[in-house]
Amino acid sequence: MIERNRYTYTSIDHPASSYIVIDLEWNQPIPWIKTNVEPKDLPGEIIEIGAVKLSLTEDGYELSKPFHVMIRPVCYTVMNKNVSRVTNKISSDLRFGLSFSDAYEAFRQWCGHDYIICGWGNSDISILKSNLRYHNWNSDLHTMFLDVQPLFARVAEGLSHQRSVEYAVDFLRIPKRDDFHAAHRDAEYTGLILKEVFLLIDAARASVTSAFSSAASGGVSADGEKPDTHDILIQEMVSLRLMAYLQNPDLHAESAKRTGLYPTWEKCFEDYPKEQELCPACQSQLSCQVSWFRLKKSGFSLWCCEEHHMVLGRMRMKKTPDGKVYASISIRLTDPGSARLVTERYDEYLLYGSKGQPVVRALDDEADPFLTVPDEEEHLPPDLHPGTDSAE
């Protein structure tokens, strides 16, 4: 955590002196074109890196000019039509640019030191790490990651809704000078959003401090009314801890366990102790954010670790050949985006009960497979059941 004595304009617990906001464009494989890599190992090949740096200076938050570099792909050299539709690039555009290694080295030199990496959503991080592995780089980023999307939703609207960059730009009334869907432009827009979010938090805290000071002295607020200390959005900004929105992209911790056998899924879920879970990274006791709830053939919960922040719980119903059921339980570190999906499922549970929404919904592109809710239970092969060494 940086020392704030030089930065008197902010009361946020900034973990570094600068934020590197990235936006990547990548090409995707075309199923009928063979390549020398498995798509599961390289789901997207980066063709463009855009970034801006939001720095804390003695005079305030300062946004740099964009960093921008084009990359010449070596695997997916024919433009996927779905990508082309979004980026307005064609296959001939992929013949130009730097090699990935040269581009990434230039990006690292531009980043400097003491920074947090940021993005709109977390898909860029997983794509970046897969590209680093393919090109024989160390995929560890050695810094924390801040997903600006859920931070904006919480601060600006007090919600957990998934919003687009353009929606946030319009909401915050940021002038639109360029089109979207170019890496350096989207990175700059995201940097401007992050700056406005920080300014909103700082302003809210300053206004509450001033209001409390006025109230304590028997005064009134500037508009002639008593300060409204019950305003939920303001209070959330006042109590918000930025560290809770950070995740370590190099740390992947998950614990697995399972219950005994039960005659029904309902009995299995009811019997599982729901009061306490342990962090899969440090084994400390977790504080509960959303207690275990059952939705169709799955169970979900959301927890918080003081050191590692958001932790997600997932139960899956499994069935043995003789008709008994048990739950396979996973507890893993998660990010605010995946946590949002849990809260959405909790809203569905509150509205429709454990049977869930009657109409099957299409999952969005960023849906986490860890969170999908199957309509039918998962069956085990006849030779596998709880208690054997080979059972899942």
Exposure class string for 180-195: b at 16+ Cβ within 10 A, else e: eebbbbbbbbbbbbbb
Rounded Cα gap, residues 88 and 79, in angstroms: 10
On whether the CB atoms of residues 233 and 205 are closer than 8 A, the answer is no
On whether the CB atoms of residues 348 and 295 are closer than 8 A, the answer is yes
E runs forming strands in 267-372: 287-295, 298-305, 309-319, 325-333
Rounded Cα gap, residues 239 and 243, in angstroms: 12
Rounded Cα gap, residues 191 and 95, in angstroms: 29
Nearest to 376 by CA among 325, 306, 336, 301: 325
On whether the CB atoms of residues 67 and 49 are closer than 8 A, the answer is yes
Task: List the chain pLDDT tens, one digit each, 392 residues.
Answer: 676 667 888 989 999 999 999 999 999 999 999 898 999 999 999 999 999 999 999 999 999 999 999 999 999 999 999 999 988 899 999 999 999 999 999 999 999 999 999 999 989 999 999 999 999 999 999 999 999 999 999 898 887 778 999 999 999 999 998 778 789 999 999 999 999 999 999 998 888 766 555 544 554 444 555 444 446 778 778 888 888 899 999 999 999 999 999 999 999 999 999 889 999 999 999 999 999 999 999 999 999 998 998 999 999 999 999 999 999 999 999 988 788 889 889 999 999 999 998 865 544 444 555 565 554 444 443 333 343 333 33
Q: What is the gyration radius of the CA atoms in the chain, in angstroms?
A: 24
Q: Which strand (E) or helix (H) includes residue 69? A: strand 67-70
Q: Hey, what domains does the chain have and what are their CATH numbers?
A: 18-199 (3.30.420.10), 252-379 (3.30.530)
